[in-house]
Amino acid sequence: MLQSRTNTCGELRLSDAGKTVTLVGWLENVREVGANFAFLVLRDFYGVTQIVVETEEIMQQIKAINKESTISVTGTVRERESKNPKLPTGDIEVVPQSVQVLGKCRHNQLPFEINKSKDADENVRLKYRYLDLRNPAVKSNIILRCQVVAELRRLMTEKGFLEITTPILTASSPEGARDYLVPARNHPGKFYALPQAPQQFKQLLMTSGFDKYFQIAPCFRDEDARADRTPGEFYQMDMEMAFATQADVLSTLEDVIVPVFKKFGKYERVSQAPFRHIPFNEAMERYGSDKPDLRIDLEITDITAEVQGCGFGPFEGATVKAVAVDDFTQARKWIDKLLADVEVQTGNKACWVKVDENGELTGGVSKFLAERKDALTAKLNLKPGSFVCMAAGKKLAAQKTAGVIRTMLGKRVPGHFDEDQYAMCWIVDFTMYEMGEESGQLEFCHNPFSIPQRGMQALLDAESDAEKLLSINADQYDLVINGYESASGAVRNHDPEIMVKAFQMVGLGEEDVKAKFPAMYNAFTYGAPPHAGAAPGVDRLVMLLTGEESIREVITFPMNKNAQDLMMDAPTTVSQKQLDDVHIAINIKE
């Protein structure tokens, strides 16, 4: 025990009655019930203890102390007359003989009530994060995070993986997101980049002869925030295995993920290994997403053939997807809200019909589909009381919109969402290439370092044929848990000739590859082993384990949605001398 205290605020029990103890912590609350009588709540990292003031001297001291000051209390433990069964220390109280202020809170008014900080404005919480973290409910997420990381380390080490750290200052690399750049003082006009992931270094470790690598790795990406993604930096459990196949990586991660979720998860039910494998194209067709939430029992059906020529403009020449639910009793206002929410989230309109008690289509676009009733009934297994929501457009847009419809219906219509579980699956067979939405050019779909299925032959067969290139699958895989991408990985492209050919398809020649990935390209020419790996996101895993809806709740000092650290006031301006030292001139356009 520390010299400044004999016990923690979560430790004392009835068996300690009569002992003289010294406790330290934060003055959480004071409740005066008489001239010289008050109840205090003293809180530290471990819990709370009730302190009972019964003398004028101690009462005068307490009145001069603001809440959230740190104090030391020396006194006698006694049994409480009115016990609190909700507290581990609820059978006892401490009667103080002396009180000492260790750290004075100089503010009469706090930004928020500590125990209700989660109800406060998020930006206020982040500005005063050191106060927010005093809330035991907030602190518990960080404690769980520490325990999860320790367990991941233990399990990976037991499997023979070596924890090896890789550089933070490195070279800029085109890996899908914007880099954070660091000017190099001794090399004017040149920059380091913070790593988006340790991707190249871990592959170089495999080439160096290490067999199994992992680390709890910080990653830096200049991208926008989402509820499940924090801007700036995040952590992943990066891992790689030499002479490994996809099956080796997936089974290894299943052996690690399942025990962690069983031990720390909010829900008792966890998918058993081996997890279900769903090809990417199948996931898009059946669920409208490569991150399907399998807790929802609804699926998407293609009704393009059944509705073509029906006279409804948006269906003509379009792909049409539908999601049907039975026993639908919601009102028109509910339906309108659903359609509005779908449009806000996807930018696309949805439409609908219902089946009345006589089996006829009614409402929405029913007048266009009346003659198609039998075909739709057979395709969608409709019955009186069914509701059908539909999306139309280009294939991918229709799939994604129907995926949003599936999720919204599944979670809003009772009986289709089995929430209290962790439903896990692998999405496999990702396409190697896609047409960029912004560029309109062929781009890597997932990871440029993945090997195409069938290797070089797949690239040669599809060369100069965009349609064939878009049909090439890569040895890539994602772990999806409850609708969240929780890990991503691939069998790597370890052959420099295949690597060059893969990049040629997106307009980068051999010299470009050598320039952008010099170490990896050269290393592969010295005999690289086949290797594969993945990287579960630590922040996202902890978010799922706690059941929190925002990833910021499980990060100790997160940025806000605008990538600002309000507590440290970052980003901020720097002095002209600092800019001169790194040869930087600022030219901000109005």
Give dist(CA 26, CA 3) in Å, integer: 18
The domain of 319 spans 296-417
Residue 148 lies in a domain: yes
Are both 213 and 124 inside the same structural domain? yes
Residue 400 lies in a domain: yes
Residue 537 lies in a domain: yes
Q: For residue range 69-122, what is the model confidence (pLDDT) as tens digits?
A: 999 999 999 999 999 999 999 999 999 999 999 999 999 999 999 999 999 999
Give dist(CA 590, CA 578) in Å, integer: 23
Q: Which of 390, 417, 444 is the last residue of a domain?
A: 417
Residue 445 lies in a domain: no
Contact 579, 586 (CB under 8 A): yes
Are both 135 and 258 inside the same structural domain? yes
| Strand ranges in 206-339 using DSSP code E only, listed in sequence order | 212-221, 232-242, 269-270, 276-279, 301-302, 319-325
Are both 95 and 58 inside the same structural domain? yes
- Residue 546 sits in a domain whose CATH number is 3.30.930.10
Helix (H) or strand (E) holding 193: strand 191-194
Give dist(CA 250, CA 257) in Å, integer: 10
Are both 356 and 410 inside the same structural domain? yes
- Show the tokens assigned to 573: 């301006």
What does the pLDDT read at residue 310?
A: 94
Number of separate domains in the chain? 3
Q: For residue range 111-165, what is the model confidence (pLDDT) as tens digits?
A: 999 999 999 999 999 999 999 999 999 999 999 999 999 999 999 999 999 999 9
Helix (H) or strand (E) holding 588: none
- Show the tokens assigned to 311: 């006279």
Q: Which three-class secondary structure state does DSSP give residue 227? A: coil
Residue 585 lies in a domain: yes
Residue 524 lies in a domain: no
Are both 323 and 235 inside the same structural domain? no
Give dist(CA 136, CA 158) in Å, integer: 32
Are both 223 and 88 inside the same structural domain? no
Q: Which of 103, 131, 159 is the last residue of a domain?
A: 103
Q: Which of 71, 103, 135 is the last residue of a domain?
A: 103
Q: What is the residue type of 358?
A: N
Are both 197 and 74 inside the same structural domain? no
Contact 94, 52 (CB under 8 A): yes
What does the pLDDT read at residue 227?
A: 78
Residue 290 lies in a domain: no
Are both 311 and 389 inside the same structural domain? yes
Are both 256 and 122 inside the same structural domain? yes
43 to each of 26, 68, 72, 73, how far by Cα in Å? 5, 9, 11, 12
Pairing of strands 276-279, 424-428: parallel
Contact 56, 36 (CB under 8 A): yes
Are both 260 and 212 inside the same structural domain? yes
What does the pLDDT read at residue 176?
A: 66
Are both 155 and 252 inside the same structural domain? yes
What does the pLDDT read at residue 506?
A: 86
Give dist(CA 547, CA 331) in Å, integer: 31
- Residue 349 sits in a domain whose CATH number is 3.30.1360.30
pLDDT along the chain (590 residues), means of 10: 84 97 97 91 98 95 96 97 95 97 96 96 97 97 98 98 97 80 94 94 97 97 84 94 97 98 97 97 97 98 96 95 96 96 96 95 95 95 96 96 98 96 97 82 84 91 84 94 97 93 88 89 94 97 96 95 93 93 89
Q: What is the pTM of this model?
A: 0.93
Are both 127 and 237 inside the same structural domain? yes
Contact 53, 60 (CB under 8 A): no
Count other Cβ atoms within 10 Å, centred on residue 79: 12
Phi first, then psi, for residue 256 (nearest 5°) are -95, -45
As a whole-number percent, the residues of the chain with pLDDT over 90 amount to 86
Residue 125 lies in a domain: yes
115 to each of 28, 132, 421, how far by Cα in Å? 9, 9, 29
